[in-house]
Each structure stands twice: as C-alpha cells, then as structure tokens.
Structure 1
C-alpha cells in the first residue's frame, strides 16, 4: 500500500518542485479569493450581513487565514497533515460566542466552494485536479478543527457554569442571597419569581455531575427551574415554580428524580415565596436530613414537616416551636374539649371506648372530636405516626407555653 500522510497518498502528489510552482501561482490570487469569499458570504447568509463591522472583519481574517494556510501547506516540500488550528487562532475567542458551530460550518463550506470555483476560473487547467484533491482534504481538517474549538469551548463553559452554580447554591443556602446572586442564578436559567423549595439528600457515589444534569432534565420536563450542587456528602437541589406552593407538589416532583441521589433519606423542605427566602426551606431540609435516621421507615422522598418529632428530638428549636405553636396552641384555642379528648385518647391506648368512659361522653362524641382534631391540626389521632407527632406536640406545648 502506498505511504500516506494523514489521509494523503504521497504517490499521487506531484513533486515538491511542481507543488511549489503551483503554490506560487495560487498565492498570486489569494487576495481575490478572499474578496470573493466575503462577497459570497454576504450573498448567502443573512445572519452574516446582520453582524457588526468588527465581527465581519474577524470572519474575513479567518477566511483569509484559511486560504493562505492552504497555500502554505500545499507548497511545503514535505507534505504533512495540515495544521488548521492557526486559522481560527487569527480571531479572538469572542467570535466563538458570537457565531454558532453551525454558522461556522456554513462559513467553511462557503469558503471552500468559492476557492474551488476560483481554482476553475483562474488556475491553469493542469493545476485544477491536483488542487481540487488537496482542497478536499484540507477542508476536512478545517471542519475538524472548528468542531474541536467549539467542543473545548463547550467544556470550559460547562465547567465554569458548574462552578458558578455551586457558588450560587452555596450562597442561597447560607442566606447570603443578594441581587448579584439572583443575577447569577438568572444566567444559569433560573427564571422563577415565586415559590422555591430546597431538597437535600446523599450525593451519588459516582458521576455527581451527570446526576445533577439528569435531575435538571427531569425538572425541566416538569416545568420547574432547578439549581443543584454537591456539598460534601450531600446533594442540594433548589426547585422553583409557582405550582410548588400546592400541597405535596414538591415531593411529587422530587419523586421523579429521587433515584439520582445516593442511598439514604431525601428530604424536601417547605415551600417559600422566593429564592431570597430559600434559607428557611434549607434549614428545615437539612434538619430533616440529619434526623431522618430516627425514622428508617420514612418514605423517600419525605417532607421535612413529616419529620418534626425527629427534628425536635435532635435539637431543632424551629421544629419544637412548630409542634408547640402550630399544633398544641390551635387545639388549646379551639376549645370544645379537643385538647382534653386528645390527651385522654392517647393516654388510654388510642381506644375510643376507653376514652369515652374516662370522659363520661358517648363514643360517637369522641369520634367527632377526633375528626375535629384532624381538621384543626392536619394530624389524625387514630393514625400511629400522626399520634406520635401529636404526643410530641402535647409535651412540647406544655413545656414551651408562656
């Protein structure tokens, strides 16, 4: 098999002397080729015309550098693989952010089309087959170089976005949210001006970045904004969307990507009105995450509100006050014997008949009062888990009442 140089069969190339002669003839018309290329870009691509003069001049430099690079490569005494990275090095990095990869491919295609047309018009007939074969190989390398540049830019942008997202999440969770943090969150795609919820769970053991992107995809499909970051052994997710204010909506959304977390409890904080208020949801979610080990049978995910007893026992003052003020006090203020009925019912082994005898009322009266307790507090005394929460609320209410 004939020797090759990165796809070129050397035996098919003319001699170095012949290539040098063709190269000199080609070099004499590179200026005209560059001018014709820019004119063709203006005729073909409306988006090119809409660019400002600075960006059009950069693209002109790239086209000219590409044509000159082809001439230089073709004229080398010893043919080697064309080095096309220098072609794009003639333009600043800003150009890669101004035009897309698809637009860059269009420019490369237009440039090659014009060069091939110019070869047929201005070069001697004997030179044309050789130059057409060479430009075909050179254009392929040029396209690969463009793809490599954009791939590197995407990697750098992805890495920068991940670092920025981690900083934003950390600031939000620590309660240091200001206008600058909100602005950075907006650049990361956060558009919610209303309800936010914090979800905390164990970080996945492998590929946490992929887990975060998978969660982002699931949240986007659910119509929610999402920010996420790994903090030590925890994965913290912030969800945003007006519908999260609905009861259990956040837990239902989290259930769709809960398997992206590592093994262990996943706790959903309470909804708050704005991203600025996210520390309150964070505090409850982190407290629940620390205390969840005391309730291994808890659902996954579990609302931080459902972990109030465990959080209170683990030292969470907010949980203790919530049990006392949100459950005990409403019962005490509701009257109608609800508080006494609850105490008696729990003290008599959750037996309706035993409580009725102790209270000297009919069993149906006890049943009615138990339903009222559920309406007032949201917890049903006949449910074992709810009864545990109510018992804790009674104890803390007695301790914390003024």
Structure 2
C-alpha cells in the first residue's frame, strides 16, 4: 500500500521578490514624510493657516500613509485595512476640521512626493514595480478617504436627526427651554424673528425621505425649518416669514392627503409651543369643518376648536370678539345678536330693533371694524355666533 503523500507546509517566511527596494523604502519613509509636509506648507495655504495641533495630526496621517504603503509593498498579496492604518492615527474631530477636498489635496501631495522619489528609492530595475504598486495603493487610499468621510457624514447625519427630533418633540410637548434652543442652534437654526408650526399627516414610507422633501421645499421658499415625523404626524417648525398661510402652502407638498394646519406666528422657538398647540387643536377639530381649505389657519378654526374643548380657542373668542363688542357699547352686541337670529336679514333686524336698515348696516360695519370678522360672511357669522354664546356663558359665570 503506497504511503500518503504529505503536502509541504507553506513557507511563511518567503523572501520578498524585491528586497533591496523594500529596504530602501523602509529607510526613506521618514524622509518622504518630511518632504510631503514641506510641500504641503509650500503649496497648500489652508495647511499653513491651521493651528499647530491640527498640523501635527496631519503630519501623523502623512507618516502613517507612507508606512502603510511600505507594508502594502511588503505584502502585496494580503488585503490591508488602509483606512484603519492611515486615518486611525487621527482623532475623529479631524474630519470636522479638514474638509474632504483638503484631505484629497493632502493625499495627492503625499503621493506626488513618493512618486517623485521612486527613481531614488527603487533598486535598479524595480522602478516600474514600485510605480505600479504606488498606483494601486493610491487607488485604495482614495477609496479609504471616501469611506472615512462617508462614515463621518453618516454619523453626523444620524446624530443631527436625533437632535432635531428632540427639539421638535420639545416644542410639540410644551417642554421647549433654553436647552432646546441650544440644540436647535447646533443644527443651524439662527433664531429667526417669525416662527410658525405646521402640522399634518405624515405619508407612508421612509420618514427620512419625507424630512428631506420638507427641507428641499424650505430651501426653495427661503425658510428655516426643524422637522420630524412624530407618530402619524408630520411636524414642521418654520422660521423666516410672518405669513403662516404662505409658509404652509410652500411646505404642503410632502404632507399626506388630509388637513394641514398652520398655527399662529410667534416670536421665537421658546414660544413656538403656543403655535404648535393651536395647530394640534386645529388638526383635531378639522373634522367638524369638512370644507376647510387646505392648508388652513388654526385661527380660522376657532369655533370648531372651542366646541372640541380647546380652552385657548374659547378664551380667544371671548377676549378678541365678545369683550371688544361689549366695551364698544350695548348697541353693537344687541344688533349683532338680532341680525344673526334673523338669518342675516337687515330688514328683519331693523324691524326687531325699531331702527332704519341703514342703522343696522352701519352697526354691522362697526362690528367688523371692532372684531375683524364680517357678519355678512357665512363663515365669519358662525364664528361671531359662537363667540356670543361663549361670552354670555362667561359673563353669567362671572369670568367677565
């Protein structure tokens, strides 16, 4: 029976095919790194302007890059983790201090320095081999650079998304404080004078795509936004315009079908909770006004909000409609009440009041001047009627 043949163990210490070139490359690594830094100082103004600490980190990256190339040349058949070897020497904060363009310039400069020294470093006859190895390494280091910055951008994006969600949730829940303002500032919010909150239903699908669509619409409308999807709601805090309806129309595209409500304009992020509460109450009450426009202002839904139990809406109707009419004189309240009871008939109201129809017409114009709501408009008449009811109830209970 023949004896089994034994496979010889692989030679783990195989000699390098170009030992002299490898030796020269190892001896020249420090010199090449110094030459690369010197050329950066000559050719890259941003490098000269950097603080010494950052320049020292760049120096370490350049040295690590040349050392990694040496290892690459030593073991060309073994995959190398270049991004770890090269960029792992620098702190994570360096990707914030140095842009991707600057990093590309730094890598290009280092590669050019090594390439210019090939004739000196390579052993006779190995110039082509070393140049080809450098070409492959340059490709790999380019991919590694892109990966490092992509990972940094992804990490920043995920962190920013969480930070933005915290700010939006704080505003909607009524917990906005100076901490929320500080977090918003970190996201680029520069405290615009006019802020409005817009609420609606979030579309199905990836919420990140919805948020990005809101941002694109905001850039087009020259608005600042903080936005997020909270449950089924899409929340947008917009700054830069004192016209809430204009803001809502500019941003309405990414919202799902259904009502979209814009809260009142407020002065800053700290008071945006008031706008958010009004918008949320309006969104809840929209079912009572099927023909409401889209988008609609929360203040246009005051009667529905009041009947749905919103105390703010009730207070506004009493304070902004009933009380001014009461202070303007009993005649206005009486005329408005009779006019509304008489199905908005000037003649019928005049007969009930024993006055000329022109007197009724004049008093109704005064009602419009005092309250901003016109009794001759069907929607405004409904709002005025609810305000009268709430005002009488408040008066009876002694709150007025």
Tell me, yes or no, whether TM beats 0.5. Answer: yes
CA deviation after TM superposition for structure 1 residue 336, in Å: 7.0
Provide the residue aligned with 1:379 in structure 2.
Answer: 373
Equivalent residues of 1:228, 1:236 under 8 A apart: yes
The 1:21–1:124 alpha-carbon spacing in structure 2 relative to 1, beyond 3 Å, is: closer
Provide the residue aligned with 1:128 in structure 2.
Answer: 127
1:350-400, Cα deviation, whole Å (9 max, x unpaired): 122222222233323322222222221111111111111111111111111
The 1:363–1:133 alpha-carbon spacing in structure 2 relative to 1, beyond 3 Å, is: same
In 2, Cα distance between the equivalents of 1:372 and 1:336?
A: 12
In 1, Cα distance between the equivalents of 2:207 and 2:361?
A: 50
Question: SS of the counterpart of 1:229?
Answer: strand
In 1, Cα distance between the equivalents of 2:332 and 2:15?
A: 102
CA deviation after TM superposition for structure 1 residue 68, in Å: 1.6
Provide the residue aligned with 2:7 in structure 1.
Answer: none
In 1, Cα distance between the equivalents of 2:203 and 2:15?
A: 59
Provide the residue aligned with 1:272 in structure 2.
Answer: 266
Provide the residue aligned with 2:289 in structure 1.
Answer: 295
In 2, Cα distance between the equivalents of 1:106 and 1:290?
A: 56
Provide the residue aligned with 2:200 in structure 1.
Answer: 201
Question: SS of the counterpart of 1:29?
Answer: helix
CA deviation after TM superposition for structure 1 residue 112, in Å: 0.6
The partner residue of 2:352 within 358, 363, 378 is 358
CA deviation after TM superposition for structure 1 residue 122, in Å: 3.8
Provide the residue aligned with 1:68 in structure 2.
Answer: 67
1:262-320, Cα deviation, whole Å (9 max, x unpaired): 22211111112222222222221111111111112111111111111111111111111
In 1, Cα distance between the equivalents of 2:148 and 2:180?
A: 30
Matches within 5 A, 1:1-400: 17-76=16-75, 79-85=77-83, 86-192=85-191, 194-241=193-240, 243-244=241-242, 249-335=243-329, 337-400=331-394
CA deviation after TM superposition for structure 1 residue 80, in Å: 4.5
Question: SS of the counterpart of 1:33?
Answer: helix
Question: How many residue pairs are counted as aligned between the two chains?
Answer: 382
1:19-73, Cα deviation, whole Å (9 max, x unpaired): 3443223222112111111111111111112222222222112111111211211
Provide the residue aligned with 2:9 in structure 1.
Answer: none
In 2, Cα distance between the equivalents of 1:90 and 1:280?
A: 49
In 2, Cα distance between the equivalents of 1:347 and 1:201?
A: 36
In 2, Cα distance between the equivalents of 1:98 and 1:110?
A: 19
1:88-110, Cα deviation, whole Å (9 max, x unpaired): 11222121121011110001100
In 2, Cα distance between the equivalents of 1:208 and 1:363?
A: 58
In 1, Cα distance between the equivalents of 2:119 and 2:352?
A: 108
In 1, Cα distance between the equivalents of 2:80 and 2:140?
A: 7
Structural RMSD (CA):
1.9
In 2, Cα distance between the equivalents of 1:274 and 1:90?
A: 43
Higher mean Cα deviation, 273-282 or 106-115?
A: 273-282
CA deviation after TM superposition for structure 1 residue 194, in Å: 2.7
Provide the residue aligned with 1:10 in structure 2.
Answer: none
Equivalent residues of 2:24, 2:121 under 8 A apart: no
Question: SS of the counterpart of 1:350?
Answer: coil
In 2, Cα distance between the equivalents of 1:141 and 1:103?
A: 18
Equivalent residues of 1:19, 1:74 under 8 A apart: no
Equivalent residues of 1:82, 1:141 under 8 A apart: no
1:4-23, Cα deviation, whole Å (9 max, x unpaired): xxxxxxxxxxx974334432
